[in-house]
Amino acid sequence: MNNKAFNSVLIVILLLMSPFSFAGRAMGIPIQQGNGSSASVSFADLGYTDSNLNGPFDSTRKVFSVPTNWSLVSGGYVQLEFDVIFSGADIGRITPGGNTYAGLLTISYNSKIIGQIRLDQTGSQTRQILIPPEALQSVRENGQHMLDVRLDAQFDCLYDIRTNVLLKATSRFELPFEITTPELNLTKLPAPFYLSNSLLPDRSILVIPDSPSVSELQAALNVEAGFGSIVGRVFDFQMIPLSQLTNEQRSASHLIFVGTPDDFPLLHNVGFPSPVSNGQISGLPAQAVDDGVVELAISPWNSSKVVMLISGNSDNAVFKAATAVSSGKIFVYQNPTVVFVSDVQDLTTSIPVVEDFKLQDLGYENTVLQGIGVEEADYSFYVSKEQIATKDGEITLAYFHSGLLDYSLSSLTVTLNDQLIASQPFTEESEQLTYLPIKIPPGMLRYGENRLVVSAGLEPNLSCDLSGFSEPWLTVSDQTALHIPATEPTELNQTSLLDLKFYPAMFMSQSDLGDVAFILSENDPAGWKVAGDLAYSLGESATPIFPNITAAYASDVPDDVLKGNSLILVGKPDTLSILSELNDLLPAPFDFESNTVIEKQLQIVYRIPEGVNVGYLELLKSPYNPEAVVLVVSGNSDEGVAMAGIALIRDQLKDKLAGRFAVTNGIQVAVSSGPSHFSVIGTVLPSSSQIIATPLPNLQQNVNYAPPAWLMPLLISSGVIVLFLILFVAVRSMKARTQKVDDREKIQAASEDQK
């Protein structure tokens, strides 16, 4: 074995023998095992970059979560790595190690001061600050821990000195911990299934029955959408049927079961408050036998993991339980590990038209945003179907603010349904009550709940006179007014919205996603998983109070679902029987024998090689409802269907979507946005073979064109000229080559004569 190979093997062996756990290595966070457990976590591991603190006053905050089965213990510390720079004419007054220093860094952990660092010399420095036991308890409602570093450099106010501190992302926490059982509390959802800024990645699996009823599948999709709304970002969360749950997944994951208890015989071993026994939930109060049940328990397969059951003794009960969980806000009574849901109400089908109202009318009072940095105020209001198409909507924002703001750095922004609609700098004039008119862009409103968010970036103009100092603030007045006139309902603007680049906006017309229906096939776990991922992303985009997505099996789609919803069909073409009704309307109809598309009006078509997976996305106006659309998420295999789903979710691929037909191989996306002579498939399958296909005839008219009389003489004369040019170039080239040979022989002869 050569040295390079030996060294490579040695490195692999050393890595395998490392005392760090696999989960810690996966994120780059060493988790020390042995006599005591501890985590060494850099600021960069938590997603933070270097922070600049500028005198005289500045601060920064680092927030993170610890796994729910960790209990932090004494002995931990924060190691700060930072650079200090002084500038100005009076820096000679600073004496390293003496009584005169430029300022202090005050370090707080969970709002308790744990140390101070004197700034009396420039250069790179490292300090370790112990975290006392009394500071280990989180003071935040969500259980997160926080570190605050505040710069106080008042010396900058007395002399010509400017203090700058660069807090490096290589700074780190050293956190000893003990393994405990996770806290069980439904009010803290999405914890423990998701923790923001967690030190370690975690995995959650949503388990559905092997043969779910339509109601059970619909409940699972709404739970997915609910988690998307609550979490607001992608995390390791997937939906699988029970038979695909492996022993490794069962012991290494948090588990969420959605369905009636008779679908999950393995749950009889789980210590729920209301246990699963003989296919029923036992121990229910007499009045709760028809209720939805949501309960938590420690996993019997791993005491550091949690199992949640979203269930009931009927499909309707499962739906009620799923709705409660998807809202993310569960109200508990005496026992925080179980709730019974007696009823839920969908978004009302008739919202009254109120064209003019103020925040005060909605029950909001004046909102004061206070503190350095970004603060926000969140408001909700409802809009009827008659109002969503208005082009004359307007918000008149009423506000006033502190006079201590740095007007070069402070401003406010306004978003409506997560879309930015206005931004405004603060001025001296806006210290008094100010009215800012904001036009509502057409298409921004949704039927049902709408969310208005006012965000303020508040940076103080820090004067060295601190006698009257207070934190900066902004007041959003309850006199903020909204004008949303009703208008004649119009059909969906197909020209602007019937395009894949507008996904998911085309499915956002109703705030609870109540007009979206997934059409799936029975016995298709791969398609169910893709639908779950899409439901999660829709929830992430729409952020409903609680989602109300509909599901149906393709073999039996109710008429009211077809006529009342936009449809998302997910699965291979030969498993979606409803596609036979729509196939002729698709931009590229399917060949149901091969599960591939038939590209029409093309001169060159690529044959897909055997075993190559391809995903298809097709979009059309719904033939059942002129205001709705149909999106087909399909492929020539289960893997192809997954590729099509990924193209709608992953930004790198989604940004390339356009038109009404797209093809993907999971890495590339090719779109067909208009008439073309060449196959779209060829752009993502370069190894495929070409076959010449006869274009379909023009159905409107067949015209035979005769060549003009001058065409043949022109072609002959052009050919003669081209032939002459070729001969001329060839002769010149031969002469040049002969001349080079003669010159070379002359040089050699002259060289021999000299010798």
Based on the domain organization, do 414 and 284 belong to the same domain? Answer: no
Higher pLDDT, residue 667 or 694: 667
Q: pLDDT class for 13, splitting at 50, 70, 90?
A: very low
Mean pLDDT for the stretch of residues 379-408? 90
Tokens 């809009």 found at: 383
Q: Which of 244-258, 438-452, 548-562 has the lowest mean pLDDT?
A: 438-452
- CB neighbours of residue 277 within 10 Å: 12
Q: Which residue, 125, 154, 179, sits at the end of a domain?
A: 179
Q: pLDDT class for 94, splitting at 50, 70, 90?
A: confident
Q: Which residue, 141, 158, 179, sits at the end of a domain?
A: 179
Based on the domain organization, do 327 and 199 belong to the same domain? Answer: yes
Q: Which of 75-84, 469-478, 706-715 has the lowest mean pLDDT?
A: 706-715
Higher pLDDT, residue 581 or 418: 581
3-state percent helix, strand, coil for the chain, nearest multiple of 5: 25, 30, 40
Based on the domain organization, do 507 and 636 belong to the same domain? Answer: yes
Based on the domain organization, do 36 and 63 belong to the same domain? Answer: yes
The verdict on residue 423 lying in a domain is: yes
What pLDDT is recorded for position 493?
A: 44
What pLDDT is recorded for position 285?
A: 86
Based on the domain organization, do 313 and 410 belong to the same domain? Answer: no
- CB neighbours of residue 285 within 10 Å: 9
Most confident of 173-177, 196-200, 507-511: 173-177
What pLDDT is recorded for position 275?
A: 94
Q: pLDDT class for 505, splitting at 50, 70, 90?
A: confident
The verdict on residue 713 lying in a domain is: no
Higher pLDDT, residue 746 or 656: 656
Q: Which of 46, 30, 115, 47 has the alpha carbon at shortest distance from 79?
A: 115
Q: pLDDT class for 484, splitting at 50, 70, 90?
A: very high
What are the tokens at 567? 């449809």
The verdict on residue 718 lying in a domain is: no
Higher pLDDT, residue 339 or 94: 339
Each residue of 260-308: pLDDT tens digit?
999 999 999 899 999 999 889 988 888 888 899 999 999 999 998 999 9
The verdict on residue 755 lying in a domain is: no
The verdict on residue 136 lying in a domain is: yes
Based on the domain organization, do 299 and 337 belong to the same domain? Answer: yes
Mean pLDDT for the stretch of residues 341-358? 82
Strand order in the sheet with 237-241: 237-241, 204-208, 254-258, 306-311, 292-298, 338-341
Residue 460 carries which DSSP code? B
Task: Tell me how far CA of residue 609 lies from CA of 422, 443, 681, 691, in angstroms.
Answer: 51, 43, 11, 12
Pairing label, strands 162-167, 70-72: unpaired
Mean pLDDT for the stretch of residues 485-496? 60
**Whether residue 235 has pLDDT greater than 90:** no
Q: Which of 237-246, 385-394, 678-687 has the lowest mean pLDDT?
A: 678-687
Domain that holds residue 648: 495-524+544-692
Residue 106 carries which DSSP code? E
What is the average pLDDT value for the chain, to the nearest integer?
83
Mean pLDDT for the stretch of residues 204-210? 96
**Whether residue 492 has pLDDT greater than 50:** no
Based on the domain organization, do 319 and 216 belong to the same domain? Answer: yes
Q: Which residue, 179, 196, 212, sits at the end of a domain?
A: 179
Based on the domain organization, do 360 and 282 belong to the same domain? Answer: no
Based on the domain organization, do 267 and 200 belong to the same domain? Answer: yes
The verdict on residue 714 lying in a domain is: no
Mean pLDDT for the stretch of residues 553-566? 94
**Whether residue 725 has pLDDT greater than 90:** no
Q: pLDDT class for 10, splitting at 50, 70, 90?
A: very low
**Whether residue 431 has pLDDT greater than 60:** yes
**Whether residue 133 has pLDDT greater than 50:** yes
Based on the domain organization, do 478 and 568 belong to the same domain? Answer: no
Higher pLDDT, residue 240 or 695: 240
What pLDDT is recorded for position 153?
A: 84
Based on the domain organization, do 201 and 78 belong to the same domain? Answer: no
What pLDDT is recorded for position 636?
A: 93
Strand blocks (E) in 622-668:
629-635, 661-664
Is residue 695 within 8 A of residue 702, CB to CB? The reply is no
**Whether residue 28 has pLDDT greater than 60:** no
CATH of residue 152's domain is 2.60.120.260
Q: pLDDT class for 331, splitting at 50, 70, 90?
A: confident
Q: Which of 578, 618, 619, 612 has the alpha carbon at shortest distance from 597?
A: 618
What pLDDT is recorded for position 36?
A: 59
**Whether residue 3 has pLDDT greater than 80:** no
Tell me the percentage of the chain whose pLDDT exceeds 90: 49
Q: pLDDT class for 749, splitting at 50, 70, 90?
A: low
The verdict on residue 408 lying in a domain is: yes
What are the tokens at 504? 């998911």
Based on the domain organization, do 302 and 362 belong to the same domain? Answer: no
Q: pLDDT class for 379, splitting at 50, 70, 90?
A: very high
The verdict on residue 536 lying in a domain is: no
Q: Which of 68-82, 578-592, 633-647, 698-712 has the lowest mean pLDDT?
A: 698-712
Domains: count for the chain: 4
**Whether residue 700 has pLDDT greater than 50:** no
Is residue 648 within 8 A of residue 617, CB to CB? The reply is yes
What pLDDT is recorded for position 130?
A: 96
Residue 633 carries which DSSP code? E
Q: Which amino acid is at 370?
A: Q
Burial 669-693 (b: 16+ CB within 10 A, else e): bbbbeeeeeebbbbbbbeebeeeee
